[in-house]
Structure 1
Amino acid sequence: MIDREHDLPVSRQAEVLNLARSTAYYKPRPVSAEDLALMRRLDELHLDFPFAGARMLRSLLRREGVSVGRRHVATLMKRMGIAAIYRRPNTSKPAPGHKIYPYLLRGVKVEAADHVWAMDISYIPMRRGFVYLAAVVDVASRRVLAHRVSITMETAFCIEVLEEAMVHHGKPMIFNTDQGSQFTSHAFTSLLTAAGISISMDGKGAWRDNVFVERFWRSIKYEEVYLKAYDSVPEARSSISKYITFYNSGRPHSSLDGRTPDEAYFGDRQIALAA
């Protein structure tokens, strides 16, 4: 938001935007190489043991010879946007002005394209640094309908992914997310409600979080991300986009009886139109 090349002084820009001057001049500290390596390993462990919290992850790392404290692991997990997944009462409270919607998919059998879409965000390691990947997935066909790579987890980039999916594929009956602040924001949910889409949200930290996008995260990380070492954000965007094209159109899925997500998604839509 602050344009350091603008004729208007930075201090005046901060005043107009109602920002503290210290915020305007603040430059984030780069993440150390040691923490980047830890985050990469935490991401791998989280995929294999999604129920593991900071204490267990710390213990797993120590068994590998990595000396790290629980609090530091918790800090890195927060930065990565990951949390232990397990069944527990939903005692979380929404952020001010954010509405939490009920989970609508309990006992629902999803068998047709555009019945349910799901969206999630995942941490993506690079050679130096990391980015976040947001994706909208059609639950029945596993097809990735839209995605974006970003250096932050801000709401705006999540809205861009949602808008792209809706522009190219219409709309689902139900849209499922977790209770992340990006998804509970009025700016995000208002797009869904205005389109007449029912909103479903997993409980915070619930066992079912990520269940509809989990297979995609595992596939892209083990078949693409962990095999690469992206040198830049543009390279990450390009390589991830190529993989998703392959994932949708060239990769057969056993859960789809050997069909690709494209074949399952567009085949189901043709059946629905014919009916």
Structure 2
Amino acid sequence: MALRLLCSIFCRMLGWLALLGRSSAVKNVEILALRHEVAVLRRQVGRPRMSWVDRAVLSTLARQLPSMLRRHRLVTPGTLLAWHRRLVRWKWRQPPAELGRPPLPEEIVALIRRLARENPTWGYVRIQGELRRLGHRVAAATIRRVLRRLGLPPAPQRVGQQSWRTFLQTHAHTLLACDFMHVDTVFLRRLYVFFVMEIKTRRVHVLGVTAHPTGEWVAQLARNLLMDLGDRAGDFRFLIRDRDAKFTTVFDAVLAGNGTRVIPTPPQSPRSNAFAERWIRTVRAECTDRLLIAGERHLSAVLDEYAKHYNAGRAHRSLDLRAPDDALNVIPMTVAAVGRRRVLGGLLNEYHAIPTRPPVDPTERPSSAA
């Protein structure tokens, strides 16, 4: 700003030096012309806007004019006093004080949102208590205000807004899904495979392979499934199946004796049994579409080997890239040596860590036997 003011003063000085060579008559005529131009501009412009440099120059020049001529200038004494008051206010102004309590940190807001979404039955006071146990002291009214801003209703309404995804995740440990898949052999013979999947762990049980599936055969496979599950059979309360005619009343009765309710899917709606349908696509893309199947025994052996790989050696997106048989509380450590196990003759590969032996000290002598 100071540089701009100095440039303006220098230009004005040059203009004044140029006026020294003019006569008084020329100056008077120029003053009359300028006064007329100012009068014309005043009729057109209501209130001109001036910068602080214009105000400084006009204020300095106005002090050199007689008192009678000052009344007809743009800069009047009242304007000068107003400018001075504005400068005083600008000098002594203070930043506005922040009223009220400081805002909540973003991590606390994110934690409140997480607690409210993961626990639909928790009210404001319940969330407040959980935050206090985690070391955060937040008022219940603040929690209510945060949830309102996020568009989350109170606890009773959040329970009513439960989605199908949340409902299925809540009951996944009690759900089973079963279905048939077909495989065409190298001799153009169609074989049928019956399997059951545990929805929570994604563990697959390949129960049987045949070319002529019947209702009695499927019912016997249901009995075999309950025997394989053992003590865990009572944990499953529902089984999802389609409306295939091979699922007879005997099949439903076998599972009902275990306390498992059979839920048929709506007609022509494979998405209702999406977990089983997705496994069929996976096993075809990774196994059966890449092999030539000779017969029932060949297909049974291939699927048994693939089921072991699927349950113990394959990462799943829905399980945080773990296998169904992996322990959830075990964190694998970084290893230097990695081994490979071929599955189905090298069609698939499994990798595992090889424990490294401690280095042997060459100076240490082996102990002699007694």
TM-score, normalising length: structure 1: 0.54
5+ residue gaps, structure 1: 1-105, 268-275
> Could you tell me how far 1:226 is from its partner in structure 2?
0.5
**Separation in 2 of the partners of 1:124 and 1:160?**
22
Q: 1:194 Cα shift?
A: 1.6
The match for 1:180 is 244
Residue aligning to 1:147:
207
Amino acid at match of 1:188: F
* Equivalent pair of 1:150/1:157 in contact (CA under 8 Å): no
Distance 1:203 1:190, change over 3 A: same
Structure 1 residue aligned with 2:287: 224
Q: Would you say the 8 A contact 1:146–1:161 is kept in 2?
A: no
Alpha carbons of structure 1 residues 257 and 251: separation in structure 2 relative to 1, 3 Å = same
Hey, what does 1:120 align to over in structure 2?
179
Between the aligned residues of both structures, percent identity stands at: 21
Over alpha carbons, which structure has the higher Rg?
2
Distance 1:208 1:242, change over 3 A: same
Deviations 1:76-118 (A, max 9, x none): xxxxxxxxxxxxxxxxxxxxxxxxxxxxxx6732356641001
2:309 — aligned with what? 246
Q: Which structure is higher in RCO with an 8 Å CA cutoff and minimum separation 6? A: 1
CA root-mean-square deviation: 2.5
Matched residue type, 1:167: M
Structure-1 separation of matches of 2:326 and 2:221: 22
Give CA deviations for 1:188-228 in whole Å, capped at 9, x if unaligned: 11112222212211011025243121221111111110000
Which structure is higher in helix share?
2
The Cα shift of 1:156 comes to 2.5
Q: How many angstroms apart in 2 are the aligned matches of 1:182 and 1:264?
A: 37
Q: Quote the Cα distance in structure 1 between the aligned partners of 2:237 and 2:211.
A: 31
Asked whether 1:168 is paired with 2:228, we answer yes
List per-residue Cα deviations over 1:221-255 (Å, max 9, x = no partner).
11110000111221111111111111111111111
* Amino acid across the alignment from 1:151: A
Q: Distance in 2 between matches of 1:261 and 1:249?
A: 6
Compute the TM-score of the two structures, normalised by the length of structure 2. 0.41
Q: Structure 2 regions of 5+ residues with no counterpart? A: 1-163, 331-370
Corresponding letter in the other structure for 1:230:
I
Structure 2 match to 1:98: none
Asked whether the 8 Å contact 1:116–1:140 carries over to 2, the reply is yes
How big is the shift at 1:167? 1.1
Query: Alignment length, in residue pairs?
Result: 162
Q: Residues 148-203 of structure 1: CA distance to partner in whole angstroms, max 9, x if unpaired? A: 111122122322332222112114111110111122x1211111222221221101
Paired residues of 2:196 and 2:204 also in contact (CA < 8 A): yes
* Structure 1 residues 119 and 200: CA distance shift in structure 2, 3 A: same
Mapped partners of 1:111, 1:257: distance in 2: 17
Task: For 2:206 and 2:223, locate their aligned partners in 1 and report how far apart those are by CA, in whole Å.
Answer: 9
Matches within 5 A, 1:62-81: none
Is the CA contact (8 Å cut-off) linking 2:206 and 2:304 kept in structure 1?
A: no
Q: Give the CA deviation at 1:264.
A: 7.1
